[in-house]
Amino acid sequence: MSRTAPAAPLVHGMNAALVAPDWPPLTLDELQQLAPHFAVLRGPLRLLWHSPRPFSAAARVRSGQGEVFVKRHDRRVRGVAALLEEHRFIEHLRERGLCVPPLHRDTQGSSARALAGSSYEVHAPVPGVDAYRDVASWVPVHGPAHARALGQALARLHLAARGYEALPRGPHPLLAGIDIIGEADLSAALTRFVARRPALRAYLQGQGGVAPILDALAPLHARLQPLIGGLERIWVHNDWHASNLFWSDRGPAAAVTAVIDFGLCNAGWAVADLATALERNTVAWLQSDGPGPVAERALGRSDLALALLGGYTAVRALSAAEREALPLLLSLAHVEYALSEAQYFSGVLGQEATARLAHPDFLLGHIAWFAGRQGQAYRRALAAVLA
């Protein structure tokens, strides 16, 4: 009787449907090869759960030493040096009192390890419940109380991040930042950004180059420029959605207990991180029904947006410049991440069709949605409390 191998665990696709993974899931054999390098992995190993997040392979693992979370990255996406950038920021936040995943170190004292073409990190558990673990990343949070708690937690992170000094991160795929929108010369900044990423440059040649991006960004960027001096620049999370938080319980009044997944963290503006949190958690970008680009089918939830913003400003007040910049950044904060997704899908995975979901669909679609009827109503709701 023949025996077939079990199917690989499914992961979240770009439209929230479950799909086959691009990266092979972690296996016991692989963990056993990693175990000599991490004391916490020694003893009997058992795989408890595979994460459905698509850009790496990760799992909860029980060893003879207890439970850990192991994450494997392709080195073209995150090498050891890039992981250590993230880990230094995590450690700063921990020292400032934020609850973040404790990092296990290998036998050489490093919190990241290269092995067989991949990069690994091993985290200790954090307190609370992974209440959104099976929910796609760009799905609205479960109610105004969760939105308010999410906003409060983000403000606490921004206060904790003050005093952390590090250069902006390099041209890695799957990374957000303000290298484009933070410069006075938009065209020169976009040209430099693309030139540092050959795979992105090659992809954009088939998408009309940078001209359509410049045309979409220029009016918003011109309005943003006079405000930049009043925007607090700190290191930020850049991927603030409910599934990157742990919660006290699964109920409607749950509080945030811990922050995870700092893969997109970078130097940036606090208010741009807030804009990202708003559009990630209060706009349903992944509506699967209806024709046209995904972003054009999105549904906005201004009730959630107002709750999130209220939670944030109860902990950290916005400056006058930040209040004026926030509506603009709802359209602009996504730009670099969309381009880095196109870089990832086209240059690392060779998936041109999926790259087109990142750009032009999501990049230009975000801007178009916020300029349209629904987006304008959403902005007006925020403007009423920002004035």
CB 40, CB 81: distance < 8 Å = no
Both 83 and 158 in one domain: the answer is: no
Mutual orientation of helices 363-371 and 320-332 as an angle, nearest 10°?
120
Q: How many domains does the chain have?
A: 2
Give the residue carrying structure tokens 């926030």. 326
Is 320 a member of any domain? yes
CATH code of 356's domain: 3.90.1200.10
Longest dimension (CA), the chain: 72
CATH number, position 55: 3.30.200.20
CA distances (Å), origin 131, targets 11, 187, 321: 17, 42, 35
Q: Where a domain ends, among 123, 156, 173?
A: 123
Distance CA(370)–CA(365), nearest Å, equals 9
Asked whether residue 154 falls in the same domain as residue 85, the answer is no
Q: Can you give the residue range of the structural domain that contains 22?
A: 11-123
Looking at the fold, whether 119 and 148 belong to one and the same domain comes out as: no
Same domain, yes or no, for 179 and 254?
yes
Task: Say whether both 199 and 116 belong to one domain.
Answer: no
Is 344 in the same domain as 230? yes
- Tell me whether residue 129 is in a domain: no
Flag whether 35 is in a domain: yes
Whether residue 132 lies inside any domain: the answer is no
Asked if 80 and 225 sit in the same domain, the reply is: no
How confident is the prediction along the chain (387 residues), in pLDDT tens digits per residue? 334 445 678 888 776 678 899 999 999 999 999 999 999 999 999 999 999 999 999 999 999 999 999 999 999 999 999 999 999 999 999 999 999 999 999 999 999 999 999 999 999 999 999 999 988 888 899 999 999 999 999 999 999 999 999 999 999 999 999 999 999 999 999 999 999 999 999 999 999 999 999 999 999 999 999 999 999 999 999 999 999 999 999 999 999 999 999 999 999 999 999 999 999 999 998 865 555 666 667 889 999 999 999 999 999 999 999 999 999 999 999 999 999 999 999 999 999 999 999 999 999 999 999 999 999 999 999 999 998
3: in domain:
no
The whole-model pTM stands at: 0.95
For residues 177 and 93, membership in a common domain is answered with no
